[in-house]
Amino acid sequence: MLKIVIADSYDQVSEEAFKIMRQVVEKENPVLGLATGSTPVGLYKKMIADHKTNGTSYKNAITFNLDEYVGLPRNHEQSYYTFMHDNLFNEIDVPEENIHIPNGEAADPEAECVRYESEMAKYVVDVQVLGIGSDGHIAFNEPGAAFDSLTHTMELTEQTRKDNARFFDGDIDQVPTLAITQGLGTIMRAKKIILIATGANKADAVYGMIKGPKTTECPASILQDHPDVTVILDEEAAAKIK
């Protein structure tokens, strides 16, 4: 079931997401599914502020990230390893050994997918944070990814590489072409999902996810089958579903 919340600013979108996250973090050993991209940064800022101000601890949290570029060194400023440390992990008290991110530098990416999936199989994700791509992707499950897919490698679409070029000096040629990503089947095992989207360039993908047919052409449409998804949108991202 998709519960839809429309908030009137990016800060409010982040606040609504934070409220759900905060409840889960109070659990004894929370398992947090985390995402990269610009959308979750506001949520992460609120988690950091709450940790610093109220002492909310992540000592017993386990984290699993959704995806990573293949071929970027992990200390590259645009690797998701670096992104997560800069935007969250270095500012809270989650132990490094509790953090899981696919290894984009693995000599055998296919073997890394199997390793990552089997690590995830030891846990149940309590809450998964998701963004959505303008092509309807969730994590790096691009159009055509199977609904029952497990962690796999995925060629990035031209659209995704164009969208992400802004992080690579605006140069699409610097954007990696391949990623390791949790599959749609992996993501669907999470107990609870928060999907956040802002801005007019997400309106079509949001429409496809919520109102469109369930089709692998819009990977996010699989969420229609999940029992506990909260979709948090600003007015622009919600423009086509009203």
| Residue with Cβ nearer ligand PGA (43 or 62) | 43
For the packed helices 10-25 and 41-54, what is the interaxial angle rounded to 10 degrees? Answer: 50
Q: Does 221 bind ligand PGA (CB under 6 A)?
A: no
**Strands laid side by side in the 67-69 sheet:** 67-69, 178-181, 152-155
Among 12, 38, 82, 103, contact with ligand PGA (rule: CB under 6 A): 38
As given in the structure block, the two tokens for residue 10 are 């990016």
Q: Does 194 bind ligand PGA (CB under 6 A)?
A: no
Give CA–CA dist 67/181, Å, rounded.
Answer: 4
As given in the structure block, the two tokens for residue 242 are 């009203």
Shortest separation between residue 93's beta carbon and ligand PGA, angstroms: 25
Q: Is 1 exposed, middle or buried (0-12, 13-18, 19+ CB in 10 A)?
A: exposed
As given in the structure block, the two tokens for residue 228 are 């506990």
Q: Does 14 bind ligand PGA (CB under 6 A)?
A: no
Q: Does 102 bind ligand PGA (CB under 6 A)?
A: no
Site string for ligand PGA, 117-156 (x = CB under 6 A): --------------xxx-----------------------
DSSP for residue 175: S
Q: Which of residues 39-68 bind ligand PGA (CB under 6 A)?
A: 39
Q: Which residue is nearest to ligand PGA (CB)?
A: 37
Q: Does 37 bind ligand PGA (CB under 6 A)?
A: yes
- SS3 string, 4-59, reads EEEECCHHHHHHHHHHHHHHHHCCCCCEEEECCCCCCHHHHHHHHHHHHHHCCCCC
| Residue with Cβ nearer ligand PGA (63 or 198) | 198
Shortest separation between residue 179's beta carbon and ligand PGA, angstroms: 11
Shortest separation between residue 35's beta carbon and ligand PGA, angstroms: 7
Which positions are catalytic? 67, 135, 137, 142
Q: Does 183 bind ligand PGA (CB under 6 A)?
A: no
Positions touching ligand PGA (CB under 6 A) are 37-39, 131-133
